[in-house]
Amino acid sequence: MAAQGKIRIGTRGSPLALAQANEVRDRLVAAHGIAPDDVEVAVISTAGDRIQDRPLSEVGGKGLFTQELEEQLFGGRIDLAVHSSKDMPTVLPDGLTITAFLEREDPRDAFISSKARSLMELPQGAVVGSSSLRRQAMIRRLRPDIEVVQFRGNVQTRLRKLSEGVADATLLAIAGLHRLHMAGVATDLMDPDLFLPAPGQGAICIEGRVGDARPDALVEPLNHDATAMALVCERAFLAELDGSCRTPIAGLATVSDAGIAFRGMILTPDGTQAHDIARNGDAGDAAAIGREAGRFLRHQAGAAFFDSWS
């Protein structure tokens, strides 16, 4: 344990990451009657936050947002790490595991612009800023006349760039805007039938050490079963399709009394080619459904399709 019975939560330092870590802290306090001072939030700088001048696909992908946090977990300096699920690689280091998923927020993408009410209403030749290959590819698929430019930075940085006229519009996860109490900046919400979210989008996950009894017991009441099943499906889909920041992949699973419904999509970065799939089944088969969907799309698209990802 990190220190004299205290629980230490590791997080990135952005306002959104801190909001997510503080949500986990508050839930731990409420679930167990822990004194707030006994749950400490430790800010850890990650390479993904420090590198702002290049696309993530060029410098290491999703692991850039988790590596330093995982090193602190291994070293025993923190007990839990809090992440956005969509930032998590599908393969974790030996000895670490995802111990809980909080109940998912709205997974949709928010369109933000002062120039148009929606993506489809932007004028021809407008500029949209995004650092996500998925969003870039889907924008180009729906609006090939639009110019898409790189738009790195946290939520506040991207909104500042938008106000400075670097782009005419951008897209952000509405879940993050809700957590920052900034949902009012959204101009429109993208229909998932037209603009499928990223796997894991909207869900906070907690990472810990395998077999670490006390932290595991503390986070257990925070786990939301339906969200966990959905994320197992989405992460299995990602794992079959590489799932790094080099790949435009979208996917969303929903769990209900009827079972699990999954839809996934792969695109070429220029958005000119896309393949999608829908699958339904028993929620207990979430991982198998995700894996099968990924294998099907890989076979359907063919080897040449994936050459554009390299």
In this prediction, residue 308 carries a pLDDT of 63
In this prediction, residue 66 carries a pLDDT of 84
Say if residue 196's pLDDT is above 70: yes
pLDDT, mean of residues 125-154? 94
Contact 8, 79 (CB under 8 A): yes
Q: How far apart are CA 255 and CA 258, in angstroms?
A: 8
Token pair for residue 24? 């986990």
In this prediction, residue 59 carries a pLDDT of 47
Which residue of the set 49, 79, 87, 94 is catalytic? Answer: 87
In this prediction, residue 98 carries a pLDDT of 97
In this prediction, residue 47 carries a pLDDT of 61
Contact 223, 100 (CB under 8 A): yes
In this prediction, residue 4 carries a pLDDT of 47
Kindly report the CATH number that applies to the domain delimited by 109-189: 3.40.190.10
Give the long-range contacts of residues 159-163, CB within 8 A, separation 24 or more. Answer: 159/112, 159/185, 161/129, 162/112, 162/113, 162/114, 162/129
Residue 302: CB partners within 8 Å, gap ≥ 6?
Answer: none
Mean per-residue pLDDT over the chain, rounded:
91
Active site residue 87: yes
Domains 7-102+203-223 and 109-189 share a fold: yes
Q: What is the pLDDT of residues 204-220, one digit of tens each?
A: 999 999 999 999 999 99
Q: What is the pLDDT of residues 19-53, one digit of tens each?
A: 999 999 999 999 999 999 999 999 997 665 554 54
Domain ranges of the chain: 7-102+203-223, 109-189, 237-309
User: For residue 229, which of 201, 253, 199 has the smallest C-alpha distance?
Assistant: 253
DSSP secondary structure string for all residues of 85-149? GGGS-SSPPTTEEEEEEPPP---PEEEEESS-SSGGGSPTT-EEE---HHHHHHHHHH-TTSEEE
Distances (CA, A) of 14 to 74, 128, 156, 180, 309: 22, 23, 9, 11, 29
Q: What is the pLDDT of residues 74-98, one digit of tens each?
A: 999 999 999 999 989 999 999 999 9
Distances (CA, A) of 272 to 138, 142, 174, 301: 9, 9, 26, 13
The pTM of the full predicted model, rounded to 2 decimals, is 0.91
In this prediction, residue 48 carries a pLDDT of 56
Q: How far apart are CA 87 and CA 200, in angstroms?
A: 8
Q: What is the pLDDT of residues 92-137, one digit of tens each?
A: 999 999 999 999 999 999 999 999 999 999 999 999 999 899 999 9
Q: Which fold has domain 7-102+203-223?
A: D-Maltodextrin-Binding Protein; domain 2 (3.40.190)
Q: How far apart are CA 129 and CA 134, in angstroms?
A: 12
In this prediction, residue 304 carries a pLDDT of 83
Say if residue 174's pLDDT is above 90: yes
Domain spanning 237-309, CATH class? alpha beta
